[in-house]
Amino acid sequence: MKRLAARAAALPPRMQDLALALALAAYNAGSLIPEAHQLRLPYLAFVLALLQAVPLAWRRRWPVAVLLAIGIPRSFYDQLNLGFQPVPLASAIAYYTVMDRSSTRVRLVTSGLLLAGIIRSQTLPHHTEPYDFFVVALQFTVAGMAGVLSRTHRAYVREAEARADRAEAERDREVALAAAQERASIARELHDVVAHHVSLMAVQSEAAASLLPDRPAEAGRSVQIIGDTARETLTQLRQLLGVLRGPADPATRPSTAPSPSIGEIDEVLVQVRQAGIAVDLRVEGRPAKLAPGVELTAYRIVQEALTNTVRHSGAGEAAVTVSYEPGYVTVSVTDTGSVAAGAGREEKKPAHVRAGANGGRGRPDGPGEFGPAGGFGLAGIAERVASCGGSLTVGPGQGGGFAVTARLPAP
């Protein structure tokens, strides 16, 4: 029996309705056979009984029309007083379908007409038992309530599926956003690591070429600096790639060095000084411990600003100022190069980025917007600053040259 029910449930809806119509037609005909000798016009009774079931094959497509198509032969059967008639299962199923699949207005009108029809049939002379009305009314009430419950359940399932779809779409958007943010973070780290060291190697290689063959010792020193810088670059790249390639389990992930902090900026200053630029570092206020993200951001600001000084400014001097004040730390890098000579810098126009003015997304505003035409270094710094809730100013310095100033939150 369970296997038969499972096969029936697997059929298409139209085939299910056809099977139901044929089963009820067989039931109606079978219920009349024992009473055939008592029926007036038995052949007509069999035909009307079959007509009460066959329209169920189309009940889902035209529910109201099917209820009428079943009700008409049922009414004729009753009006002609042919004798015993089957239980009105087909009519109840048709009414169930109307309550399940029709609009509220159609359901109300249909229910009113059905009640009127039941009352009219119970007033015929051969209906002498008062409880017949209550039995028929109860049958259709149960069928109607079942239809309403089925409709409510189907609406609930649809809403649950819609909520699940929305939740899945939102989760996909969050995953995509997280992936995009991670890609941007990786791109910033790669740029900051590679651009700085490659710029220093380029400067030293040019110096070595200019010193040969007359000053081989000094040229050798430049070559040695190139080698040291290259090895340091490879070490940092291996650490970064180890994070990308390593498994998710922290216990088995390759060990990596901690993120650089502003307290380690002397290493960058030494490298820039070796490139021929005098760099002065000034710390103002009482140094305080910063959040790891702020430490890394401050370090990268100095590194990227000095990299641009080496690559584009033609300056001979630069100054780095780290100023601690209650609630903030200000990092400023200025050089003595001319703005005209720095036309090849990543951003040629002054720009100001305010975290919070654009939802903290790090998008610059103002005439110096970091667009596609610009490079990635200062744009990456703008994103870092905005993610920390700080502000960034990039443009000509007050005394000439070029200045990068960031104000970052500090505990």
Q: Which CATH number goes with the domain that contains 385?
A: 3.30.565.10
CA dist 13 and 97 (Å) reads 13
Final residue of a structural domain among 128, 150, 170: 128
Residue of 236 and 272 predicted with greater confidence: 272
In a domain, 290, yes or no: yes
pLDDT digits (tens, 9 = 90+) for 152-163: 998 999 999 999
| Residue 250: inside a domain | no
**Domain-terminating residue out of 76, 109, 128:** 128
Flag whether 355 is in a domain. yes
DSSP for 294-354, please give it.
HHHHHHHHHHHHHHHIIIII--SEEEEEEEEETTEEEEEEEE---TTTTTTSS--S-EEEE
* Residues 21-55 pLDDT 10s: 888 888 888 888 887 777 778 888 888 888 888 89
* CA–CA separation, 330 and 135 (whole Å): 87
Q: How confident is the model at residue 4, as a pLDDT? A: 66
CA atoms within 13 A on the CB side of 56: 27
Whole-angstrom Cα distance, residue 354 to residue 361? 10
**Pairwise CA distance, residues 306 & 270, whole Å:** 11
Structural domain includes residue 378: yes
Q: Tell which of 107, 128, 149 closes a domain.
A: 128
Q: Quick one: DSSP state of residue 365?
A: B
Radius of gyration of the chain (CA): 43
Whether the upstream peptide bond of residue 213 has omega within 30° of 0, thus cis, is yes
Q: Reduced to 3 DSSP states, what percent helix, strand and coil does the chain have, rounded to the nearest 5?
A: 60, 10, 25
CB atoms within 10 A of CB 225: 20
What residue numbers bound the domain in which 107 lies? 2-128
Band the pLDDT of 400: cuts 50, 70, 90: confident
The percentage of residues in the chain with a pLDDT greater than 70, rounded to a whole number, is: 80
Q: Is residue 375 part of a domain?
A: yes
| One-letter identity of residue 182 | E
Best-predicted range by mean pLDDT among 13-22, 184-193, 210-219? 13-22
Mean pLDDT on 246-271: 67
Q: Tell whether 394 is covered by a domain.
A: yes
What does the longest C-alpha to C-alpha distance in the chain come to? 132
d(CA 382, CA 363): 7
**How far separated are the first and last CA of the chain, in Å rounded?**
73
Residue 349 has a pLDDT of 38
Question: Could you give the C-alpha distances from 81 to 75, 124, 126, 318, in angstroms and in order?
Answer: 10, 9, 7, 112
Helices 292-308 + 377-388 axis angle, to 10: 160
| Token pair 């690559």 in the structure block, residue | 311
Residue 245 CA from chain centroid, whole number? 25
Is the CB of residue 81 less than 8 Å from the CB of residue 128?
no
Measured at the alpha carbon of residue 297, what is the angle toward residues 293 and 302, in degrees to the nearest 5?
155
Model pLDDT for residues 128-152, shown as the tens digit of each residue:
566 677 788 888 889 889 989 999 9
- 84, 175, 385 from 180: Cα distances, Å: 76, 9, 18
**Within a domain: 74:** yes
Please give the residue that has the higher pLDDT: either 8 or 246: 8
Q: Domain tally for the chain?
A: 2
At 232, the amino acid letter reads E
Residue 230 in any domain: the answer is: no
pLDDT at residue 322, as a whole number: 92
